[in-house]
Structure 1
Amino acid sequence: MKLLLPLLGCLAFTLSLTEGVMVCYFGSWAVYRQGDGKFDIEDIDPNICTHLVFGFAGLGQDNKIKVLDPWNELCDNYGKCGYDRFNALKQKNTKLITILAVGGWNEGSAKYSNMAADPAKRKKFVDSSIELLKTHGFDGLDMDWEYPTQRGGKPADKENFILLLADLKEALHANGMLLTAAVSAGKATIDPAYDVPGMAQNLDIVNVMAYDLHGAWDTYTHHQSGLYAHPEDTGDNVYLNQDFAITYWIEKGMPANKITQGVPLYGRCWTLKNGDDTGYYAPAPQPGAAGQYTRTPGFLGYNEARIHVITLLFGLQICEGILNGWTVVNDPAMNEPYIYSLEHGRIWCSYDDEASVKTKAEYAKAHGLAGMMVWSVETDDFKGKCGRPFNLIKTMVETFTGTDITPGPTVAPTTRDPDAPTTKPHTAPPTPPSTEDCLKPGINADPVDCNHYWLCSLNMEGGYDANSEPCAPGTLFNPNAYICDWDHVVCAIPDICPNECA
């Protein structure tokens, strides 16, 4: 009977996919944002996603899975219990599936390459992952290695990634858990990095990150998540669209019903060189100004924009931009809008709106995909300033399933599983005095070195334990956004990282 229960658990997960999958990633660092951009676990609506993915855990030097922000994610030493609170959302919707993502852009590739190449190191990672997932009540693991063979990886990663996935699948399925992965949409990454048939044998869901296809790393405007190619696309740009990516994954051997089509809940933005050309392929050598919430040049959440009016800065939604001197354009050659303003810094942003996410959900359904995926839940219009809260996510769900979203069943207090994780009451401790490395608990910038940041946790002696976390090659720590970001993006912020950006 003990052997049968895990198999029944996996079967239940599989059957739920027939209703349509909505995978929602949660960027946990959004809790550090300011004002209306701050987003914590309790801001998540547990009834709009079938799968919630907590981003991110990492990989330690000991090859065990690593909690990247212990103060925010664990209960120890006055921590905020993020993992347990995240999984407690299942009390509000018993059908909800919670997954812990490991990796992400900040983590880079080199240490995953080293771990995957050694059976003993893989076992350490797998065993520690199962232990962490079970301790906090997660239902699966999302492997977000960005990317095998690249960013410090080795050619052997393509084969070793499959060995790692096979080990994870065996252990996770034995415990009734899912194994998913976030994967690239770019042909230049797919070809060297992925043995697609091998991945198909081991993964339950494949989340295709069909966004960031263009951005401020280009010196011209384009759509970051176009469903189809633009008529003027040539060369490798003809591959940089969602239709090519989804079709290519299927052609290389991934079953369509395992694929979710990723949609961004944010815009990629440029600063136009001049006001003479405001369309696609317009010269734009600089990123757009950072938003007041996400505070990253070239990036605006759907729920923000930053407008420059002489010396006055004020926030508004991208969806409200047209009311504040912005122009919204729906190019007849494309299915997605872009927005620009010549009066407010010559900013130009490509993004998705209600109409375009509906079109993408229709595409996913017509092509027999498992469903949709979003990065990330906290940049949808979660406060409902432009209509109903989380409208983009809800629109995709309703389009794909053909039904309106209804609240899921909750756990009755008398029947709640006694082994389910509980939310430990958070007691605010006395604030310790600042140290050279730690001004506050959680993520802290190093004022003289942007190649890393400090993770500061309270200790039992009433002080801080500081751990240095390196940024991956090609990235620097952005002290405004609390993440390691592209080095050219960080260097576009005035008075940031003078040693690295000189």
Structure 2
Amino acid sequence: MKFLLLLSLIAYSLCLAEGVTLVCYFSSWATYRPDDGKFTVEDNDPSLCTHLVYAFAGLGSNNEIRVLDPYNDLCEDYGKCGFDRFTKLKEKNPNLKTTLGVGGWNEGSTKYSQMAASASARKTFIDSTLTLLKAHNFDGLDMDWEYPTQRGGNPEDYVNYITLMSELYQALHGEGMILTAAVSAGKATIDPAYNIPELSKSIDLLHLMTYDLHGSWETFAHHHSILYAHPEDTGDNLYLNQDFAVSYWLEKGAPPEKLVMGVPLYGRSFRLQNEEDTGIYAPATQPGGAGPYTREPGFMGYNEICDFQRTEDWTVVHDPAMNEPYAYYIPNNNFWVGYEDPDSVAIKAQYALDKGIAGCMVWSVETDDFHGKCHGAKFPLLTTLMEVLSGGIYTRPPTEPPPPTTTRDPSITTPAPGEHCTKLGPNADENDCTHYYLCDQDTQGWVEVEYTCPPDTLFNPEALICDWKDSVCALGGHCLNDCPQ
């Protein structure tokens, strides 16, 4: 009830915020999650966001934008029409902007670096992007290159990234579309990657990824989206908090009206080494176990966290030095997770208002409690963010029944297992986790396309994504063949 009281106080103390922005990322692959974790296009609530981003498209070897999951994204060959269903959400909220994200962590940096270095390659990318966006009624593009000059990029990306974004901005604005970008919150990446004053001239919104500041790649437990530095933080860890990242981008020249602060709807988890040491900086050298829906070690959606807390005797800690909770459950292999709850996201939305920035961004909608199991209402974190950003008096408009989903031609029956394909969507290679196969089917049987995971990642056969190598190796199984011995 604490967060309801907080919202009531805010409602009396604020006027309606002008130009509120709440950007929501939708992970399209969540449609492949099992049971109550399955999240489709129509599970999005278009009244809760000002911008919805469909994640992700990629970059092809020909420098054209590439549809990564044709069966899920397109209508051709009896596909599920994900793009068209997504942009159709604007019928429920005419003010909603629906954009297509390109890139993401799994896409890496090398090919974007190579494309941005060539005038002809940039033109190919931009022309193909405009064609795809217009074909599916998107309102613009979200560039999620992670990151210029990093992860296989080149120092020249510092200049070439600005050239690419300037040309994209002019081309998109010429068609009445917008350009946004997901950008790093880490000082060690910001400094070499971004000419912030120049980037700010060619962007509509900057989506600051103020999360994953800590995680199971470290040797201690820490909150991955802490608002302010913890009293025990020293050295470079003093930079790993949301307030530093927001303040640093503003100090370097980002216009406050274009900056949105990321808020995660998931937690980062660890396995404690000592059940007696459970606080921040407690020794922890392994990721926490995978959740039943997201199926990724070291990561757990809020829907998974709050559901476990309803049925198990977790210890929830509200450290007076922090605005965010963490929790641990010793019987589950000394499990520890730092996460956001309705109270903490309300504080962060208020921080965005007080800081004078455009608003907030979430990654990602399908890890909120979208079934409403834990608080008696759907999307408790997302709803709290919108209510606070709107001055505490936001009222959700009535919703209409979702449109019927597209089904496959009943005359096309599921073929027998092929050499690499047993089901639609991503399929693991049982002998090699450095790549995977995206499988579709037509009247002739299975159609497979092979994809290689970026450096330092392996295909996670449970989460069905390219994941950090240490997270995949922790699963054991056939992937151990690709793990350091």
Q: What is the TM-score when the length of structure 1 is the normalising length?
A: 0.90
Once the two structures are aligned, what percentage of the paired residues are identical?
A: 58
Structure 2 CA distance for aligned equivalents of residues 28 and 22 of structure 1: 19
Aligned partner of 2:421 among 438, 448, 471: 438
Aligned to 2:89: 89
What is the identity, as a one-letter code, of the residue corresponding to 1:352?
E
- 1:72 deviates by 0.5
Kindly provide the CA deviation profile for residues 107-163 of structure 1, in whole angstroms up to 9, marking residues without a partner as x: 000000000000000000000000000000100100000000011000001110000
**Match in the other structure for 2:473:** 491
**Alpha-carbon offset, residue 464 of structure 1:** 1.9
Residue of structure 2 in register with 1:173 after alignment: 173
Residues 63-462 of structure 1 correspond to what in structure 2 (within 5 A)? 63-305=63-305, 317=307, 320-321=309-310, 324-387=312-375, 388-407=377-396, 426-428=408-410, 429-459=412-442, 461-462=443-444
Separation in structure 2 between the aligned mates of residue 498 and residue 94 of structure 1, nearest angstrom: 49
The question of whether the paired residues in 2 share the 8 Å contact of 1:182 and 1:206 is answered with: yes
CA change 1:405–1:427 in 2 (3 A) is farther
Q: 1:361 to 1:202 in 2, by over 3 A?
A: same
Partner of 1:13: none
Q: Say whether the 8 Å CA contact 1:93–1:407 is kept in structure 2.
A: no
CA deviation string 1:318-367 (max 9, x = no partner): 5x35x521100010111100000112211010001011001100100001
Q: For residue 470 of structure 1, what is the aligned residue in structure 2?
A: 452
Is the contact between residue 95 and residue 409 of structure 1 (CA under 8 Å) also seen in structure 2? no
**SS of 1:268 mapped into structure 2:** strand
Task: Determine the C-alpha separation between the residues in 1 that align with 2:18 and 2:148.
Answer: 30
8 Å contact from structure 1 (residues 222, 281) kept in 2: yes
* AA aligned opposite 2:212: D
Mapped contact 2:78–2:407 kept (Cα < 8 A): no
Match of 2:5 in 1: none
Question: Aligned with 1:19: secondary structure?
Answer: coil
SS in 2 for 1:261: strand
- 1:125–1:280 distance in 2 versus 1, CA, 3 Å: same
Contact kept, 8 Å, 1:94 with 1:408, in 2: the verdict is no
Which consecutive unaligned segments of at least 5 residues does structure 2 have? Answer: 1-16
Alpha-carbon spacing, 1:95–1:408, altered in 2? closer, same or farther (3 Å): farther
Contact preservation (8 Å) 1:73, 1:81: yes
Distance (Å, rounded) in 1 between the aligned partners of 2:333 and 2:244: 34
CA contact (8 A) 1:92 1:408 kept: no
Between the aligned partners of 1:32 and 1:205, the Cα distance in structure 2 is 30
Distance 1:24 1:386 in 2: 21
Look up the equivalent residue of 1:347 and give its one-letter code: F
Deviation readout 1:371-419 (Å, 9 max, x if unpaired): 11000000000000012100101101111111444345999xxxxxxxx
Deviation, 1:258, is: 0.4
Q: Alpha-carbon deviation of 1:425?
A: 5.8
C-alpha distance 143-408 of structure 1, shift in aligned 2 (>3 A): farther
Secondary structure class of the residue paired with 1:114: helix
Structure 1 spans left out of the alignment, 5+ residues: 1-16, 306-315, 412-420
| 1:24 partnered with 2:28 | no
Distance 2:206 2:404 in 1: 30
* Kept after mapping to 2: 8 A contact 1:325/1:343: no
| 8 Å CA contact 2:80, 2:405 repeated in 1 | no
Deviation at 1:275, TM superposition (A): 1.1
> In the TM superposition, what is the alpha-carbon distance from 1:498 to its structure 2 partner?
2.4
Deviation at 1:423, TM superposition (A): 7.3
Per-residue deviation, residues 32-88 of structure 1 (Å, max 9, x unmatched): 110111111111111101100000000000000000000110011111111011111
Distance in 2, Cα, partners of 1:350 & 1:496: 30
Q: Is the counterpart of residue 46 in structure 1 residue 34 in structure 2?
A: no
Measure, in 1, the Cα distance between the counterparts of 2:318 and 2:478.
36
Residue 55 (structure 1) aligned with residue 43 (structure 2): no
**Cα distance in 2, alignment partners of residues 348 and 433 from structure 1:** 42
**Range moving further from structure 2, 364-373 or 435-444:** 435-444
Tell me the CA shift for residue 487 of structure 1: 0.5
Give the aligned CA root-mean-square deviation in angstroms. 1.8
How many pairs were matched up? Answer: 465
Structure 1: 4+ residue segments shifted above 6 A: none
